[in-house]
Every structure is written in structure tokens, then in C-alpha cells.
Structure 1
């Protein structure tokens, strides 16, 4: 069996500071939490940043600068920068860091979606920051835009740098979008597909839907793809374990779930990485190192990014 890649999504643009004290929201805490996750066994770090003044999602290079170059020097993990940002960011703002740093990997959403977070607002009454509640409630009427034009423009800007993508597919139709873009020459096989499950507005997080996604991807991409699963919320560990048994890779992290088990908040990203690593090893999976992940995914190598130039 091929080795299994663990990705850790460190902070994201979904959870807000009120939801968990463990959520890293300053450059220092994001960098430290990412380093701990890498030390625990994550070979890829999926990275967003936040405004250090209030913890709001940000795409600004100056909010990546305090931790990204030092993280580059402190760990061998693949640094995978978001181009998704958060549902309320413009495509231009979401691309700034990826254009500046030219990383080995970037995430790339393969279709538009009503990325609905508004039910989360009903769980809280006291908020740490005044932006949190309107941000969450506003997603009821917000389309997270990723049109074919957006995808083409992102690929046109970033692909010449040699970046490879974590193609995030929130529903079956996004796989067909990706196939169309491949046929148009926007991307080159082999590709890395992230099945994003459990987000309200997208496909549900259950095994039947995972099988459906996998069968569809097999028909569309044959042997020319690698795949991974992230399950937002309570099914995070369960579907990750199943995906690894099926030959896929896995993603965990506080971006996708704030919990380590039902009703218990995770203490850190590293705690989640440690848990899934132990589960995978117990069921016979071998964990890929960062350099093995690079080989599996055909990445250009960390020396060929502009991140090291910032140290």
C-alpha cells in the first residue's frame, strides 16, 4: 500500500475566536501551531492567515510575513497556501499571498457554493469580537464565488510558477468542473483532489457519498489522480480512517473541526494530527514524510518557492 499523506489545515476562515481558545488567530500562534502539527506527523500544512488585531480572516501578505518564512526554515513540511481565503473575500484578495510566495502547493476551489455557516451563530450569545456574528449570519445569503472565469484566471496567474493544486471539490459537480478544466489545458495530470465533505451547501459527510465521489473521480480521471478527504465537523476522524483504507490521503485540523471527539474541544492542531496518525498506523497505513509527499504529488520542491527568499 502506498504511503498516506496527512494534511493539517491550521486555522482556515470558518471558525471564529469565540468558538475555541485553541484556534490560532495571531501570526505567532498560527506559526507555532503549524510547527507542532508538522512535528506530530503532518507532511502538508494548509495555511490561511488572520488579522492579528481581531482574528478575522485575512489574505494580506503582511499577515503571512510574521510566520511563513520562519515556518519554512523550521520544518520540512509542504506549505500549501490558500486561494480560498474566506467566503466573503474577493478573488484578488485571496490570491495575494500565493502570487507573492509562489509556494509548492495552493488550494483551489473547483466551483461556487453557498458556503453556509449561519447555523453556527445560534450556538453562541457572547462574542469575543464584534465581526463574528454578522460574518457567520451573512453566509446564509452569500455565494462563495469560484466561477470558471475565476478558476481560469487563477490558473493563468499561478500555474507558470510550477505550483500544484489541492483541488477542493465540495460536491460531485465540482469533479466535472475539474475534468472540464483539465480538458481545456488549465491543469496537468496527475492532479490532487480534496473531497470536501460536510459543509452546509455541499455534499454530506457519510460513507455512501464518499464512495460516490470516489467512483465518479475514477471514471473522470482514471489513474491520473491522487485524492484526499476532509470531513468538516463530527465525521472528521471516521471518514479520514475510511479514506485511508481505500487508498486515499487525509486532512485534519482546526479549520475543519474544532473537536477531538464528540463534545470535547481539541487542545491543538497537533492533537488532531497525532490522533489520526495513530489511527492510521493501527490499521496498517504508513505515514508519508514531507519529501515522500512531494514525490507522490509531483511537487517542485521547497527550494523552488519564494518563501525561503523572505527568511
Structure 2
């Protein structure tokens, strides 16, 4: 990718961990997801990443919740954004994840590319707030990838470290993973790669070495480092993600009132960097998705 490429701005609407005690803007019901998608699209998002919840806010991996949220969003925004389902989770079977992909048929689905320690560390308290092993063995990656290939869903390869980028190469070589690829580099999770501009460049350089490119990539900055990592990605020619799954706060420390606030800042940064936000048609082209009639 180069600076000449338009920036695909993705919005991660809610995640599955945080709740309204932490941020009142997090949506729970399908109607609230749809309203947040509208706010994000109105500010420049062309790619919407979804973790499902029940209407009372609990994380959900049930078909009915994913489908209800997807339908509410599509009813609100039509083809104005690409719909993306998460498949990342702990203790939920591959079969259950495939079932909601089959029922919801998103255009894109996240595919975590390796196992890792996944933690949150408090420097003030000098202890881990939480600490677990995020297991993503190749057997599960291949099963999810086979389903995505069968269903015509583009994988979004979420890479939390350089080794996760390297894990793409054998999948391409064995013919299980069509190219070009769409990858997002997740930075700011304790246990993953430290969130620096140099490390982001290393991730991008490693992706570029995988045959079948040029590949599309973006950055996912977790917590307050979101804005520095977005700035680095914009300078390096990548795309960006913002939203309440990843971070609640604007650069000045103000809590976002909605996903729209975060996407508006991402769009402003894109323009300030001398680049421009992609249209949804350009986003589909960048991710190698079929264009849709009426998309703008």
C-alpha cells in the first residue's frame, strides 16, 4: 500500500467485554447497533465490525442475535458499509461460530491468526487486571477458513504479533488461503506486539513479503494508543479502525459520546495526513469484494 491509496475507515461498534458502566454509549439492542452504525457511516466509516450481544448487553454467539443486529444495521444504512462479523472468542466451538457465519453471511469475518497470552496490565497497581491464553490453533484457523471460502466471506486476518503475520504464508502455500490478503495489525494488547510505529512498519513489511500481493492492511490500536497507531498507519499507507470496542476516548481525554465521535476524529486525521477516506466502492475494491449496485 502507498499514501496514494484511499483509507478504509472501519468502525468496531461494541466489542464484547466492556459495558455501559464503563461507557454509556455502548449499544446493546439491534436498534442501538443500527443507530451507532448510522453515526459511524455519516462520519466516514465504510466497514462495520460486529460482536453480537443480547438486548441486555451480554456477549452472544447465537445466530438470532447476530442476524438481528446485521438486519437492523442493513435496514438503517443499506449498502453504505461492508458488514464484518467477529469470530474471536474463548470457549465457543468452531461449529457454533460457523453457524452464525452461515446464517448471517457477512461480507467479511475476522480470523485471529495465532494463540497468545492476552492480558491487561495496570502500571498504577503493578498487577494484571486480567490474564488468559487466547487459543487459536491452526486446526481452528483452517476450519474457519474453509467455511469462509465456502460461503464467499473474505477473511480479515487479525495479527497480534509478527509471528501471526508469518502464519499466513503456509496457508497461502497450501492453497487454503486465496490472495490478495486483508490483514489488520492489533497493537496495544499486553502479550502482543508493543504499539510503536517501528513495529507497525515491521508488520507491514512482513505482510508484503507473502506471495500473492499487494495485500491490504490496517491497524487496530487498543486503548489510548489508538490515536498514535492510527497516525503511524496513515503515514505508512495503511487503513485504520476506530470504535468503542477498542477505545472510549478522544485524543484530548474526553469520553466519546458515540462511535461517530471516534470515526469523525479518524476521518479528520486521515485528511490532516494528506490522504482521503475511501468510498464504500473503493473499500470493496481494496478488500477484493464484489461491487454492489447503488454503492457510493
| Same-fold call, TM cutoff 0.5 | yes
Q: Of residues 45, 68, 75 in structure 2, which corresponds to 1:73? A: 75
Deviation at 1:116, TM superposition (A): 1.9
Aligned to 1:265, what secondary structure does the other structure show? Answer: coil
* Structure 2 segments unaligned to the other structure (5+ residues): none
The 3-state SS of whatever aligns with 2:210 is helix
Task: State the partner residue of 1:154.
Answer: 144
Which has the higher mean CA deviation after the structures are superposed, 234-243 or 66-75? 66-75
Matched, 1:60 2:46: no
Following superposition of structure 1 onto structure 2, how do residues 1-311 of structure 1 map, counting pairs within 5 Å? 1-53=4-56, 55-75=57-77, 76-84=80-88, 86-117=89-120, 139-140=130-131, 142-221=132-211, 223-301=213-291
Q: Partners in 2 of 1:118 and 1:284 — Cα distance?
A: 35
SS in 2 for 1:50: coil
Q: Measure, in 1, the Cα distance between the counterparts of 2:63 and 2:136.
A: 21
The worse-fitting range, judged by mean Cα deviation, of 89-98 and 164-173 is 89-98
C-alpha contact (below 8 Å) 1:241/1:276 kept by paired residues: no
SS at match of 1:220: coil
TM-score, length basis structure 2: 0.89
Q: Of Structure 1 and Structure 2, which has the larger fraction of its residues in helix? A: 1
Q: Bigger shift: 180-189 or 213-222? A: 213-222
Secondary structure in 2 aligned to 1:115? strand
Q: 1:100 and 1:301, CA in 2 relative to 1: closer, same or farther beyond 3 A?
A: farther
RMSD over equivalenced CA pairs, Å? 2.2
CA contact (8 A) 2:113 2:165 kept: yes
Q: Which moved more, 1:276-285 or 1:92-101?
A: 92-101
Report the count of equivalent residues: 286
TM-score (norm 1): 0.85
* Residue 277 of structure 1, CA deviation: 0.3
Q: What residue is the counterpart of 1:126 in the other structure? A: none
Tell whether the 8 Å contact from 1:14 to 1:117 is kept in structure 2 after alignment: no
Q: Which consecutive unaligned segments of at least 5 residues does structure 1 have?
A: 123-135, 304-311
SS of 2:167 mapped into structure 1:
helix
Equivalent pair of 2:234/2:273 in contact (CA under 8 Å):
no
CA offset digits 1:68-115 (Å, max 9, x no partner): 11322332210011111x334333333332121222111110111222
Q: 2:211 and 2:24 mapped to 1: Cα distance? A: 41
Query: Which range moves more in the overlay, 62-71 or 100-109?
Result: 62-71
